Amino acid sequence: MADTTLSFSHIFSKVQSTLPGCIKSENASPITDIFNSKIPETTKHCIEVAVRNYVTKKIIQGEKTNLGAIRAVTLICIELVRNELSLPTLPVQVLGDSFDALTIDLCEELFTFVESNVSIWKEDTFFSPCKTSVLRMCNDLLRRLSRSQNTVFCGRILLFLARFFPFSERSGLNLISEFNLENVTTFTNVEQDPEEMEEETKEKEGGGVSLDYTLYTKFWSLQDFFRNPPQCFQKAPWKMFTVYCGDVLEAFKSFKLDNVQSRSTTAAQISRSLSTEPSSQENSKSEPQDQYFAKYLTNQKLLDLQFSDANFRRYVLLQILILTQYLTSDIRFKTETLTEEQLTWVRKTEELVFSLLAETPPDGMAFVGTVKHILKRELMWSDWKNNGCPDIKGPNDETDKNQNGKKDDWDAKAALKKRGKKRLGEIVKEADSKKKFSMGNAEMSRLWNLHQDNLEACKLPERDFVPALETYFNPAIEQLSGKTDVKEQDRLVNDSNFGWRGLRLLANRSPHFFTHSASPIATLPEYLTTMIKKLAKELPSQLSDDMKAEEEEDKEDEKVILEQNDGVKDEEESMEVDGGEDRPEVRAINEEEQKALAKNLVKLGGDKWKALAKKLGFQDDEIEYMETEKGKKGSPEGAAVYMFHLWVENEGEEANKDNLLYTLGGLKMTEIAEGVFT
């Protein structure tokens, strides 16, 4: 029977029975001899299940865990993958199963094997299929470990990941410049007992600056700005940061380390003595040790010792330099920038910090040189991230240069061109200083810089593309006057596009467009015909004989109407002269009449005045205002009085007795006027 048709149980038993011999010889030949290299995927899966089952049941869960057997099985799996008898992920899955079942001490010992074979995991055969599994395996380990108890093991895992993944692997990069906001430094918020402070002050007489609770609070509050630098771009936090930082630097400046070098203890030594046995303290004095603290000790009593510690001072000053460099550097995802006043403060602060570092023993100047070099390299990393984190490649060998000379020359020119190219922010800033526009495109920039003020340029006469009325409507006038032989349905007034443009042009250029008319709106062609005839009257050169005759008739009609109006006017004037004394006086209702009307109106019913208000032309919101603002203690009489007052104020003499009685008659409320008007 061919091996491609073997059943799962047969393959499973074959692999499990062969594995012990393979582990002893650390050779996969017994398995490779059973199968040929061209087996289907299903057979590979069967082999994988058999191997993982053997490791879990026979090695890990056996009487004694044998790490050597796990290493041997992993090497056998690597050989199976290279012989195309297994999936590429099998070695990593075997290691992952082992780490899940082993204790932390055994995991740390087995991880040495993983570290030593990092070159194998980076091979093309394994890297792409296994990188996700490797990352998951390491993350599972990190979740089991304590950062304080297993610090070294955690560091080994992170270093392995850094070696395993390429430098430009985007999943391991902080591309958008996020900060670890969970790293909060807590300190005492309660001031020390005054008696204790007095005793400590007596002990520290002659020691320099006073390290009181205020300075203690300001000092440890700076850690929040180091943790979250973007808050410095806000007005209030920036002011707080400058004050706190200035006070702390002034304290460092006054608290010279030259005066405290004779002290026998430092903050690190005090902390070490707290964690060591008395019997071992003598040995620790003779054998100085480097102590690592994962967190700062923020007890107020330790502040004096911390200020006396050169390393501690360097930690804080270096944090300030890192923060100021972030605030002033060009970072792609940083949208805010400092003002000139803020930049001046940053430069002065950096000079003061460097001077304090230079004064801090030992080897202050050498330390300053190292810090400047590190900060300069940090700017290079920022530029690399701003450019999208391109792959970093080493120089090519001489052979590659000879074989690909042209390509290398092109790459060098491209790199030189890219290095010499200005950043977009620099280009915009430079253009803005010259009162120019940079649009990111040569032609667009040229168009935007044709005039210094583009809004004023839009008002220039040559920018006015709206045609004159005569130019636009001349063809339509000629069609209506009969100068051109055009059918009725083909005239321009029947063209919707012509009509739409004509209406817009009339609204901008013609006084006839907004004239008041009581006649209903006609169709668009009829309306345009009427408007064009009016325009033609203003352009005599465009009138035909028929249109001129029509114009003469219109003038005669207007003359007759004017004569009739003059006759009526003379007759009215004569009537005023003859009988002016008998005409009744027309006046608006006075205040007394308004109050009486309001009183009678309220007697009819509480809401009757609202119906009258609507009839007199008031809107709902006005009526609501009268009711809420002018009504006194829920009585509508004040609102009614205010309604009549507004009516008289708005209408003048039209708000008279006759008009009011006419309105009341329509509402059948004439009884409210009884006894009011004499």
Q: What is the pLDDT of residue 396?
A: 54
Q: What is the pLDDT of residue 39?
A: 80
CA-based nearest residue to 118, from 64, 153, 159: 159
* Lowest mean pLDDT across 54-58, 204-208, 442-446: 204-208
Q: Residue 387, Cα to own-chain centre: how many angstroms?
A: 20
Q: What is the mean pLDDT of residues 298-323?
A: 92
**For 246-268, what is each residue's pLDDT tens digit?**
999 999 998 887 644 434 344 44
The pLDDT mean for the chain works out to 77
Between these two residues, 551 and 183, which has the higher pLDDT value? Answer: 183
Q: Would you say residue 368 has pLDDT above 50?
A: yes
Ordered DSSP codes for 308-354? T-HHHHHHHHHHHHHHHHHHHS--TT------HHHHHHHHHHHHHHH
**For 340-349, what is each residue's pLDDT tens digit?**
999 999 999 9
Between these two residues, 167 and 580, which has the higher pLDDT value? Answer: 167
Ordered DSSP codes for 241-268? HHHHHHHHHHHHHHS-GGGGTT-S--HH
Residues paired with 635 in a beta bridge: 632
* 3-class DSSP assignment, residue 409: helix
8, 62 contact by CB (below 8 A): no
pLDDT category at 558 given cuts 50, 70, 90 is low
- Percent of the chain scoring above 90 in pLDDT: 23
Distance from C-alpha of 529 to C-alpha of 476, rounded to nearest angstrom: 9
125 backbone dihedrals φ, ψ, rounded to 5°: -65, -35
Count of other CB atoms within 10 angstroms of residue 80:
24
Q: What is the pLDDT of residue 349?
A: 96
Q: Would you say residue 599 has pLDDT above 70?
A: yes
CA-based nearest residue to 346, from 227, 250, 246: 246
CA-based nearest residue to 254, from 356, 182, 370: 356
Distance from C-alpha of 118 to C-alpha of 675, rounded to nearest angstrom: 111
Distance from C-alpha of 127 to C-alpha of 163, rounded to nearest angstrom: 12
Q: What is the pLDDT of residue 443?
A: 83
Q: What is the pLDDT of residue 252?
A: 92
User: DSSP label at 521?
Assistant: P
Q: Would you say residue 572 has pLDDT above 60?
A: no
140, 99 contact by CB (below 8 A): yes
Q: What is the pLDDT of residue 470?
A: 78
Q: What is the pLDDT of residue 359?
A: 92
One-letter amino acid for residue 473 of the chain:
F
pLDDT category at 317 given cuts 50, 70, 90 is very high
Distance from C-alpha of 335 to C-alpha of 111, rounded to nearest angstrom: 43
**For 500-546, what is each residue's pLDDT tens digit?**
888 888 887 776 676 655 556 668 888 888 888 877 777 655 545 55
pLDDT category at 663 given cuts 50, 70, 90 is confident
Residue found by looking up tokens 């998951």 in the block: 136
Q: Would you say residue 547 has pLDDT above 60?
A: no
One-letter amino acid for residue 177 of the chain:
S
577, 634 contact by CB (below 8 A): no
Between these two residues, 541 and 333, which has the higher pLDDT value? Answer: 333
